[in-house]
Structure 1
Amino acid sequence: MTPTTAPRLRPFTQVDVFTAEPYRGNPLAVVLDAEDLDADAMQRFANWTNLSEATFLLPPTHPDADYRVRIFTGSEEFPFAGHPTLGSAHAWLEAGGAPLRDGILVQECAAGLVRVKRDGGRLAFAAPPLTRSGPVAETDLARIAAGLRMPREALLDASWLVNGPEWIGVLLDSSEQVLAIRPDYAAMAGLKVGVIGPHPAGSEVGFEVRTFIPGDAAAEDPVTGSFNAGAAQWLIGAGKAPESYLAAQGTMLGRAGRVYIETTGDDVWVGGNSMSCIEGFVLL
């Protein structure tokens, strides 16, 4: 399709999210000025980056929002996603964005308004409400067990955790079980599966997380904010996780993802470090 406007250079940054070590988290492409770009142009660029997501920052349309973001994977637009939220907020602030309120910025996305706060040197977003939760059909659990190459009884609990991406969360007995998974993507085709298991008592990290995305380009996501948000809401609400904990993700991919979960009142906050690793301009 012919672009609606002539391409021009736009400020750009690539942010590593959920890590304090460069190139050990989940990278995100952020186009800081996406005015007059149409969805087709955004989708083409997101596909070209070969990253899990790219975001495009726009002026807000809601009076309470500081900025608006559109979030694209290589093949579709998401109403919300976690590491794009933190990475976009980091890039917006670093580019000189000034929140309307002290200590809190408000991101407008297709899922609504998402609050982001400073948490020491980190940023954290308030987990949005789940749009689908609850039991998973036994037929799906059987497919997931086959995909994880483990007996059905090893899946201690499971729940739909939809807050944008359509995750199914699975609780295992231990971090060791999580790290031992060698997924059969074909067996769980069509399902986005996140797996979480506790580390031994006394460990610095409370839970180990892995997320699997079957499809034509089957992949394990390095660090997944949306899944960690849903998993925290589910497990804390069920009394299976403490109100605050640290989750590790990306271990099997050579990453050092760290997700900080904290409950304050009715809010579950999902936080992590971010750092800009590439800055410049893109022609769009």
Structure 2
Amino acid sequence: MSRRFHQVDVFTAVPLRGNPLAVVHGADGIDDATMAAFARWTNLSETTFLLPPTDPGADYRVRIWTPGGELPFAGHPTLGSCWAWLAAGGVPRDAGMVVQQCEVGLVRVRRQGTRLAFAAPPLRRSGPLDAALCTQIAAALRIAETDIVQHQWVDNGPGWCAVLLASAEQVLALQPDWPALGSLKLGVVGPHGAGSNAGHDAAFEVRAFIGNGAYEDPVTGSLNASLAQWLIGAGLAPAGYVAAQGTAMRRAGRVHLQAEGDTVWVGGDVTPCIDGQVAL
């Protein structure tokens, strides 16, 4: 069966500089095995499948797959899927807000000028990491434990934990020991703004390391969402800031974070790369 297909680049206004996403429209009738096989075939960090909602409060439903399995939520697939749904003629019930249904529940997506932004879902796990985990992370990052300025669970579905280093330069210099990461999904963040980074367009540099598969994600919406909830909530970041990610991979992702009351909005550009049909 032929279905509409998009491939988009998320968190960038320049093609090939962000995080790519494959989107299959009208995915009714595609079974789990086929979704999994197609996600392995695209070999992108995520592939999504758009379906009619089963929740009356949603405009559409999305299922999010990696080559290794299904995710309950992910950030760049949320923005990319919403863009593709709108580009294919989707009309939200509320002209000012799109409501996406995924495994974590309903996620609101709004337009911020030319960008889309999603409301960060609540954290499933928070609080400081234990000492043994900090020791493992320091060893895996090949740094001293004293280089970890702050640490926190920032899990909003995928299982993220995070550490804050003193500078963006330290973050960019990391060369992780992948086997030592084990099964961790680790976010590392450090501030720009001092030394050679004075005047940088981003306040923080972020990297995302996925131990299983020895994989670094180019630009990660879910991680940036939960990092912002932590950093802003703890007074470690202003209420609005830009995070850079992907620099170490020769990408140029930019994630726009803004706290409004109890909600953190996670925004970014979406750039289309492929618009066609796929046989599934």
TM-score, normalization by structure 2: 0.97
Cα RMSD for the two superposed structures: 0.8
2:54 counterpart (28, 42, 61):
61
Identity %: 61
2:216 counterpart (209, 216, 220):
220
- The structural deviation recorded for 1:203 is 3.3
What does residue 103 of structure 1 align with?
A: 96
The question of 1:238 aligning with 2:231 is answered no
Distance 1:159 1:207 in 2: 17
2:253 counterpart (252, 257, 263):
257
What letter matches 1:54 in structure 2?
T
Spell out the pairing of 1:82-161 with structure 2 (5 A cutoff). 82-161=75-154
Distance 1:156 1:205 in 2: 20
Distance 1:75 1:89 in 2: 23
How many pairs are equivalent? 276
Distance 1:65 1:14 in 2: 23
Distance 2:161 2:262 in 1: 23
**SS state of the match for residue 126, structure 2?**
strand
Distance 2:8 2:214 in 1: 23
Cα distance per residue 1:196-243 (max 9 Å; x no partner):
01101653210000000112x311100000000000000101000100
The question of 1:28 aligning with 2:21 is answered yes
Distance 2:246 2:230 in 1: 21
What does residue 168 of structure 2 align with?
A: 175
**SS state of the match for residue 194, structure 1?**
strand
Distance 1:203 1:48 in 2: 37
- The structural deviation recorded for 1:266 is 1.2
Cα distance per residue 1:45-84 (max 9 Å; x no partner):
1111110000000001111100000000101111100000
Q: Which consecutive segments of 4 or more residues in structure 1 shift more than 3 A?
A: none
The question of 1:50 aligning with 2:43 is answered yes
**SS state of the match for residue 22, structure 2?**
strand
The question of 1:268 aligning with 2:269 is answered no
What does residue 5 of structure 1 align with?
A: none
**SS state of the match for residue 273, structure 2?**
strand
Could you tell me which runs of 5 or more consecutive residues in structure 1 were left unpaired when the two chains were aligned: 1-7
1:205 counterpart (202, 206, 228):
202
Distance 1:34 1:204 in 2: 39
